[in-house]
Structures are given as structure tokens and as C-alpha cells.
Amino acid sequence: MIRSRYFLTGYQSIKSKGTFGHESFPNRRHIQSYSIFEQNSLSHLIKDLQGSLKDVKHKDEINTREVLNLLRYYKGSSDIEWKKYSLRDPKRSYTRNLVTKITPFSNLLVLVWEPGKKSSIHDHPNSNCFMKILQGEIKENLYSKNTENKPILYRSMTLQENSVAYINDNIGLHSMQNDSDNLSVSLHLYTPSYQTSKSFNSDGLAVNNEMDYYSSHGKIN
């Protein structure tokens, strides 16, 4: 069953198919303590994410709203620090580049999407996936499963530069695609991180995939 979803684009929030309830934004004093307001950089975002996730041992302990807000406050399109992690391979549809482990249970990645390419329909096993578009735009397709376990498209939307989104398996499956003629780049936080994921074809056939990295810490593996 699809429980909920929030999108945050710029300063707008949109709730669809309902999950977190009416959570308020952090109070002003707490907001001012964020490192990201000292300097708009990936390093400062990482510091804030580490503070938010440092005591988290289980996915249900995550302050989802706070993490979404931190990603929203970070203006990736005006930062250049992430570019050293945005390594591409034109022979691949996209590359998964490990930036760092936020905690022993959480990974931060930069994904580079080739023009006109897309991912498979896939899950996020027992994990929370947070996304921010750093460059360009990405179309996200959301799927539920019918009684025959086949993925059924129920929503598509294009995430513009600096948009933020969130998904877990209670929300559904998804696929991502770059429909533009230019490279697109997205930032992904997976918590807890995972080693394998399932991809699905239109008939519901699932295939297990190892989650490898094209590069780690700015160096090709």
C-alpha cells in the first residue's frame, strides 16, 4: 500500500498520498545552528547530515523532515564542490559515485545521468532514499504493484534543478530518466545503505543487482 510522499521544490512543499503527517519546519533557533548557513558547500551539508543521523541505527529513527530540509537548504546548483565526484562514463546510462559514508549506516552518492538514458524500475530494500537535483532535470516514475506483482505506473513528474524528493518501499518502486539533451546530476542519500537491489520488468520479473560504485571519493574504481 502506498502510504505517503513529500516533494520539496525550492520553498514549496507538496504532499501526495500522505505519510509524515503535518510536521513543522525546524524552529528558527535550530535552523541557525546548521552549518550549511555558514557556507553553502557540500562539506557543510555533510556535517549537518552527520549531526542529524549520528545516533540513527534503524530506518524508522530518522528525522525524515529534517534531512529533507537540509537538502532543501543546500543550493547545489551554485556550489562546485560536488563536481569532483560527478564522474561519468558515456558507455553507461548513469554512474553511481560514492562521495562518503555519512555514518556507518548511511551513504552519500552523486549520480551522473547521460542524455536520454534511464534506470530500471527498482526498489530500495529497507532503506530511505533522499534525492536532490544538482544539475539539469530528472523525470521520476513511481510504480505500485498489482496482484500479479507487476509494476503499475501511478505518477510521473519532472524534478527540476534544486528539487528534493524522497522514496522508500512503502511509497513504491521507481525509475529515473534524463529526457534532456544534456547531462543531469543528482545527489542521493541512502540510509541505511544496502548492497543489493531488485529491478523489475513490465511482467513483474525481479532480478537481484549488486550495487557497485563507478568511483569512490573522487577516484574511479
Going by the annotation, the residues of the binding site for Fe cation are 122, 124, 174
Question: Strand, coil or helix: what is 57?
Answer: coil
The values of phi and psi at residue 91, to 5°, are: -80, -15
Place of cell 539533451: 181
Annotated binding-site positions: 122, 124, 174
User: CA 76: distance to chain centroid?
Assistant: 14
Asked whether the beta carbons of 71 and 132 are under 8 A apart, the reply is yes
Nearest Cα residue to 58 out of 133, 121, 126, 140: 126
Contact 168, 117 (CB under 8 A): no
Distance (Å, whole) CA 115 – CA 19? 33
Q: Return the H-helix or E-strand segment holding 51.
A: helix 42-53
How many alpha carbons fall within 13 Å on the CB side of residue 192?
15
Strand ranges of the sheet holding 184-191, from the earlier edge strand across to the other edge: 12-15, 6-9, 163-167, 128-135, 184-191, 106-113, 94-103, 215-216, 219-220
Q: How many CB atoms lie within 10 A of CB 36?
A: 23
